[in-house]
């Protein structure tokens, strides 16, 4: 299926590895031009080279911190200067620390707000004029299943990503008339470096892996491709009529019918 992404310009966060890199690779294979960013340039530059080599796509790599208002503005400015516009924004970054919700001080909560909620707000606010000038576009946020099915110890993520879902839903109502869709994806257990760290920190990593897989009705941990393929459809012109949604990619892990 041709997703009609050839020549579209996409900004993708956290693209040096994991879900962000998977999304960047799928969009590049569909013919999109990429502006990818992450905090660590030492990991970002090789990722950009590998995506170029594997797909032949044009890839602009920008070292930037999603928690910084100045960096968010610079990301958009440099992308527009390089490509002449923006069509797609994928907000994706790491997650705040784990721990009891009441154990974190104001500084930790502020940092989580900057990393999750304010990042999504700033990127949307900065990109919208450019999407409108292109006659439409897409904004997509990556959160986690914990945002709609909270997990003990994930309080910083749950609270701030729930805010992202609320913001995205509200924004979707306000920009739909400009042919812009806004959606949020909530992955479940996905094979990433972050999940691997969880496994390796357990007394018996293999037992924990089997236990988590058994919790999933489909009986397996998800892959980055499971997330990236859905993202590609939602940000494409073919998925434009889908907006204001929070979609779990979790093999059936979410128990609520909502």
Please give the pLDDT value at position 64: 97
> Rounded mean pLDDT of 200-209?
81
Model confidence pLDDT, tens digit, residues 30-63: 999 999 999 998 999 999 999 999 999 999 999 9
Q: pLDDT-derived band of residue 16, with 50, 70 and 90 as boundaries?
A: very high
Please give the pLDDT value at position 203: 83
Task: Assess if residue 233 is contained within a domain.
Answer: yes
pLDDT at 258 over 70: no
Please give the pLDDT value at position 25: 98
Task: Assess if residue 258 is contained within a domain.
Answer: no
Share of the chain above pLDDT 90, in %: 85
- What sign has the CA pseudo-torsion 77, 78, 83, 89? negative
Query: Domain range for residue 96?
Result: 9-249
pTM of the model: 0.95
Q: pLDDT-derived band of residue 209, with 50, 70 and 90 as boundaries?
A: confident
> Rounded mean pLDDT of 110-124?
97
Task: Assess if residue 64 is contained within a domain.
Answer: yes
Task: Assess if residue 4 is contained within a domain.
Answer: no
Q: pLDDT-derived band of residue 257, with 50, 70 and 90 as boundaries?
A: low
Task: Assess if residue 176 is contained within a domain.
Answer: yes
Task: Assess if residue 188 is contained within a domain.
Answer: yes
Rounded distance between C-alpha atoms, residue 142 and residue 144, angstroms: 7
Please give the pLDDT value at position 54: 97
pLDDT at 94 over 90: no
Please give the pLDDT value at position 1: 83
Which residue from 130, 120, 211 is spatially nearest to 165, judged by alpha carbons? 120
- As for how many domains the chain has, the answer is 1
Task: Assess if residue 91 is contained within a domain.
Answer: yes
Supply the CATH number for residue 118's domain: 3.40.50.720
């Amino acid at each position: 299926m041709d997703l009609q992404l050839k020549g579209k310009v996409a900004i993708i966060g956290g693209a040096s590895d994991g879900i962000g890199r998977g999304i960047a690779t799928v969009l590049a294979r569909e013919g999109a031009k990429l502006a990818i960013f992450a905090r660590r340039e030492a990991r970002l530059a090789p990722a950009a080279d590998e995506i170029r080599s594997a797909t032949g796509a044009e890839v602009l790599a920008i070292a930037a911190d999603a928690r910084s208002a100045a960096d968010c503005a610079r990301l958009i400015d440099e992308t527009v200067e390089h490509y002449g516009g923006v069509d797609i924004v994928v907000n994706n970054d790491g997650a705040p620390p784990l721990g009891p919700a009441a154990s974190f001080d104001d500084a930790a909560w502020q940092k989580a707000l900057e990393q999750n909620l304010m990042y999504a707000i700033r990127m949307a606010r900065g990109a919208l004029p450019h999407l409108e000038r292109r006659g439409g576009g897409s904004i997509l946020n990556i959160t986690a299943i914990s945002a709609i099915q909270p997990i003990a110890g994930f309080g910083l993520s749950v609270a701030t990503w729930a805010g992202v879902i609320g913001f995205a839903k509200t924004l979707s109502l306000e920009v739909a008339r400009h042919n812009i869709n806004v959606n949020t994806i909530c992955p479940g257990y996905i094979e990433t470096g972050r999940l691997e760290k969880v496994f390796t920190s357990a007394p018996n990593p293999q037992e924990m892996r089997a236990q988590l897989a058994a919790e999933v009705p489909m009986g397996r941990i998800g892959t980055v491709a499971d997330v990236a393929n859905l993202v590609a459809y939602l940000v494409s012109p073919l998925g434009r009529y889908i907006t204001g949604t929070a979609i779990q990619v979790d093999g059936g892990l979410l128990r609520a019918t909502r």
